[in-house]
Chains A and B, each alone.
Chain A
Amino acid sequence: MEKFTTHSGIVIPLDRSNVDTDAIIPKQYLKSISRTGFGPTLFDDWRYAEPGEPGMDHSKRKLNKDFVLNQEPYKNGSILLARENFGCGSSREHAVWALEDYGIRAVIAPGFADIFYNNSFKNGLLPIVLSEKKVDDLFVKASSKDGYSLTIDLDKQLVIEQDRETTEETPFEIDEFRKYCLLNGLDDIGLTLQYADEIKAYEKRRRQEAPWLFA
């Protein structure tokens, strides 16, 4: 997993609530058995003028000019700004893989769906919850079209806005274990297997208490 320490990038304002994982990566692409290659079809239905299918050369497809990812300066953005309940719906981790593959490193929203939130951390994508008011404020700034950038410092847990004269810092919450894994790019399977003996001891006890669970 890629480490996340600090990241600076252009903010992409996606002004919608309840952006679901079907919208992030439509189902026809879920037939892939690989973890990579989903970037070109991120937000496929919104991003392109015509429906897409796996196997197409996506670089040749006609773009929907009204969609934010197709506009300057957002094309080069790496921090996605969205409304409440981002990532709701299906558990498909392909949604996170698509965001990552496209080059998004962080998503800022007032709230995330639980499974999406969880999946993000497993792939080095940082979901940041900020207050609705702060998100509103960022939408106004990011919509000004001249390439509004932010810096995210995971260790200090800060979203940093910097222009010529002023610096504004907004703190965010993240749980310790997830932060530790992200900062160090750690594979949590390896961490869990350090406790293999405890897991075995638990199993042994449960086999006696509740043998029907092991049939």
Chain B
Amino acid sequence: MTGKTLYDKLWDAHVVREEDDGTALLYIDRHLVHEVTSPQAFEGLRMAKRDVWRKESIVAVPDHNVPTTTADRGNGSAGISDPIAKLQIDTLDKNCAEFGINEFHMDDIRQGIVHVIGPEQGATLPGMTVVCGDSHTSTHGAFGALAHGIGTSEVEHVMATGCLIQKKMKNMLVSVDGKVGPGVTAKDIVLAIIGQIGTAGGTGYAIEFAGEAIQDLSMEGRMTVCNMAIEAGARAGMIAVDDKTIEYVKNRPYAPTGEIWDKAVKAWRDLKSDDDAAFDEIVRIHAGSIEPQVTWGTSPEMVRSVNDKVPDPADESDPVKAKAISDALDYMGLEAGQPINEVTIDKVFIGSCTNSRIEDMRQAAAVVKGQKVADNVKLAMVVPGSGLVKKQAEDEGLDMIFKEAGFEWREPGCSMCLAMNADRLEPGERCASTSNRNFEGRQGQGGRTHLVGPAMAAAAAVKGHFVDVRSV
């Protein structure tokens, strides 16, 4: 008999019942909730006179809509100038109070982006099933957990039943073999993976990331990689548990202690694919060949090395793809064949659930230290992922490094990653961004987003154009 993959193990441990056609009820251990995708779910519960199945499974936090300037954050939600956004945040508070759900309010130091605070609080543990009405829930897979994004109807379903209706996905292994070169980060690894398999390459699969380069990553780096599994089309990405995982979880507020901790650790040690596990698809990537990456188009798969050129649609034989390239170049205001490191930028955004953890702050600060933001850059901002990340960075003096260089140092939230609040690009503005989506209009209508890692964003800020961070 062949062994099991990590995904197989997580799946098997959570199936409550399974129909003949494979449709299963999957038990959910942790449900993370934010203000944008939950109001209609709570409303649904109320209309059907249903209660929440297991209140302790839920942790709620406002993140998408919260303002990030200190001035707007003084007074809870009262400081929010947009009345519709304010109503949404107040609605979350009201719903959580009514249903007895634990929420980290806007003025709580533990508030932050839902995918940053879950792991930070130990609310995400190895072996869990984790869901959230947000596609980047894949982030939590870094802990050897089965974590997927769900829609609002599913949010309501999980609230009401403790379960999700799911069919088992296929298994894909993405192995990043060997070591990456100096200056190449988790973000470069995941962008290179997406560049290779495409944004639909993982559709229908749960991806396990493995290989020496993945094992070498810190937990922060692993979260960056799993975060973007969804950009490769996979609802869930995951990484096996090892000492680093267990070390990270230890002593976090929601983590077990004493005897139960010992018992848990013993169980967690098995959260890896068996040596003889069978995958439906295996992708291998040589870590040594990965260079710092920059996206040039309007889909995360439109990515190249910073030392490369913008592609030419004339070189593409498939007419549908050639059209996609020329549409993207039009939107991005780029010329075919233009060297990427000559592209100048208007704004820099360091933040989002992909790259707003303490290690990201440190990587960016190391590049910025003693430098100034270039004159052509209108705004460079750093938005820590949570109140606790912010505090830690301030304790380390990183905020001063950014501020002295001319960066704005903001309060935690999603901010310019999706521009639901005041932080956004104006039409035509070009941004070096550490977020995860470069879709048309993602960071503001007509805005042009280039996805990069935090050190690359910092380097672009000080040079005013993209540049290989290894040469700065």
Contact = CB atoms under 8 A, between A and B. Distances in A.
B339 interface: no
Interface string B240-257: 000000000000001110
Contacts of A26: 441, 445
B29 interface: yes
Interface residues of A, number: 60
B470 interface: no
> Looking at chain B's contact residues, is the secondary structure mostly helix, strand, loop, or mixed?
loop
Interface in A91-127: 91-94, 96, 111-115, 118-119, 122-123
Contacts of B56: 214-215
Interface string B111-139: 00000000000000101100001110000
Contacts of B161: 189, 192-193, 196, 199
Contacts of B36: 30-31, 92
A173 to B, nearest CB: 12
A119 B40 CA distance: 14
Given A30-B36, A91-B149, A192 B165 contact: yes
Contacts of A17: 320, 324
Given A30-B36, A45-B445, A114-B235, A122 B324 contact: no
Interface in A187-207: 187-189, 192-193, 195-196, 198-199, 202-203, 206
Nearest to A22: B439
Contacts, number: 188
A23 interface: yes
A81 interface: no
Nearest to A20: B439
A88 B233 contact: yes
Contacts of B235: 114-115
A188 B439 contact: no
Interface in B8-22: 16-17, 19, 21
Given A93-B152, A211-B260, A199 B163 contact: yes
Indicate the member of A28, A33, A55 with the most B CB atoms within 10 Å: A33
A113 B203 CA distance: 7
Interface in B51-89: 53-54, 56, 64-65, 82, 84-85, 87-88
A55 B442 CA distance: 20
A1 to B, nearest CB: 9
Contact of B151 (A45, A54, A119, A187): A119
Interface in B145-164: 149-154, 156-157, 160-163
Contacts of A115: 135, 149-151, 235
Given A23-B441, A27-B418, A115-B149, A33 B91 contact: yes
Interface string B198-210: 0110011000000
Contacts of B427: 51
A18 B267 CA distance: 40
A67 B30 CA distance: 42
Interface residue tally of chain B, by bracket? 35 or more
Interface in A140-189: 175-177, 187-189
Contact of A212 (B19, B264, B320): B264
Contact of A93 (B27, B37, B264): B37
A88 B440 CA distance: 13
A16 B133 CA distance: 26
A196 to B, nearest CB: 8
A210 B151 contact: no
Contacts of A61: none
A213 interface: yes
B48 interface: yes
Interface of A: 16-18, 20, 22-23, 26-28, 30-35, 45, 51, 54-55, 83-85, 88-94, 96, 111-115, 118-119, 122-123, 175-177, 187-189, 192-193, 195-196, 198-199, 202-203, 206, 210-215
Given A30-B64, A195-B25, 20 more contacts: A17-B320, A22-B441, A23-B440, A31-B84, A45-B441, A85-B200, A85-B203, A91-B134, A92-B152, A113-B200, A114-B204, A123-B153, A176-B21, A192-B160, A198-B25, A206-B27, A212-B256, A212-B263, A213-B127, A215-B254
8 contacts: A32-B88, A35-B43, A45-B440, A92-B37, A119-B154, A177-B23, A199-B53, A215-B256
Instruction: Give 8 closest A-B pairs by Cβ, nearest first.
Output: A122-B153, A119-B151, A33-B39, A212-B256, A93-B151, A93-B152, A91-B149, A91-B135
